[in-house]
Amino acid sequence: MIAQFPADFIFGAATASYQVEGAAAEDGRTPSIWDTFSHTPGKVFRGQTGDVACDHYHRYGEDIALMKQLGLDSYRFSLAWPRIKPDDGPVNAAGLAFYDKLVDELLAAGIDPAVTLYHWDLPQALEDKGGWRERDTAERFAEYAAVAAQHLGDRVKRWITLNEPFCSSILGYADGVHAPGAQEGEGALKAAHHLLLGHGLAAQRIRSAVPDAQVGITLNLASVQQVSDEPADVEAAHRSLLIGNLIFTDPVLAGKYPELGKEVWAPITDFSWIGDTDLATIAQPLDFLGVNYYFPSRPKAVAHNEPDSGKRVASDLGFESLIHDGEYLTEMGWPVDASAFTDLLIWLRDTYGDALPPIYITENGIACPDVVGDDGRVDDQDRIRYVGDHLTAVSAAMDKGVDVRGYFVWSLMDNFEWARGYQPRFGVVHVDYDTLKRTPKASFDWFRNVIATHEVS
């Protein structure tokens, strides 16, 4: 099967500030929650940190040359909030100056910058005041967004407010496996709400500063596959859809929270902290929706003992994701199912109809067992197969009427993979973490051909 994409379809690659920049204490940058978390023993694989990462802060010119060689239409990257406005104090001019240089060199190379304002690196100074549990953090985020938009908006037109608020709130404040490492009930739900409130406030500030801006949000969404007709598994599927999708898609796209959420989380909160006008603020009109997809959700009901309400975490919903015997798993332990990607995009279209804006696939990719050959190259056929199959799945959704405008592979280069450290490799460019040498993989050449021909065969 040949998947053909329109001539104006955007092909890009993505990274995130803490995962690639390094220079963690240079030019006025202060610690983020990920600096604190990664330096806490036992939180990250082998105690690894983003102190150096890929040293993109000093090597961005080399990296842009690779992007130009790849033929990218656009590069999606995030700004490090602690570089620009580390706390309630003044703006850090040196931090803005780095992004000035990065944006200018991207434009000189013919690559459109797509900026994400928040990819999880909350200033530690704000976490010390309660972090995303507090409404004030949403206000501080809007202030930071305004600074960034006023400074870069003459050159940057595509803005993403948040990346994956599910991970920031549920993995960070409920499961405790991401920064700041909290395991809470109401606190995690407050974090999710205040992230979305921050999105709405930031969207307003960006549009005020940059009237011709394209503004969106990126959500990592689940394609939920019901595993049986047993009542418990049917309910598990509903709860999986709730926590993975609906608590974010419903407020952003429909201006409401799902009724099931009020029932499921009634034991841990009364939701009295949601302001009367919050949902109207959250449901700002979007120019696009960013969708990140990696694997399907197959929720299987599991027996669990209900703890005291004060100890229950928000993610304790009585299911686990099923893995089929013998199926291929990525290095992250994730099952591969490209057809579920098509299903997810069609679900969005069917669920939200005219309220759904155009979609960009802002992340999609695979960590696989990359092996450096004797010739120094990585022949990553698993990655080529995965990306090819998932691009074909996007094309299938487009053939069925879903308005998808672009695709950003995750990632441009191997980088710090959060709590997994440097073990998983997602890049189409190999990074030697001892020397920081960059080497394009076989997937780099393959993706370059896809970009040039707008075709996957």
Residue (of 383, 43, 386) closest to 183 by Cα position: 43
What is the spatial distance between Cα 185 and Cα 183, in angstroms, rounded to a whole number? 7
Give me the helices (H) in 224-337, please: 231-241, 247-249, 259-264, 278-282
Residue with tokens 């409130």: 197
What is the spatial distance between Cα 142 and Cα 215, in angstroms, rounded to a whole number? 14
Tokens representing 62?
């080399």
DSSP assignment letter at 178: S
Tokens representing 96?
């803005």
What is the spatial distance between Cα 245 and Cα 261, in angstroms, rounded to a whole number? 11
Residue (of 448, 428, 449) closest to 438 by Cα position: 428
Rounding to the nearest 10 degrees, give the CA dihedral for residues 451, 455, 456, 457: -140
Catalytic residue among 21, 184, 186, 363: 363
- Three-class SS state of 214: strand
Exposure string for 424-447, b = 16+ CB within 10 A, e = fewer: bbbbbbbbebeebebbbbbbbebb
SS3 content of the chain, % helix, strand, coil (to 5): 45, 15, 40
Phi, psi angles (nearest 5°) of residue 242 = -60, -55
Q: Is 363 considered catalytic here?
A: yes
Residue (of 384, 367, 371, 372) closest to 424 by Cα position: 367
CB 406 within 8 A of CB 74: yes
Rounding to the nearest 10 degrees, give the CA dihedral for residues 7, 102, 64, 32: -110
CB 148 within 8 A of CB 97: no
CB 406 within 8 A of CB 357: no
Active site residues: 363
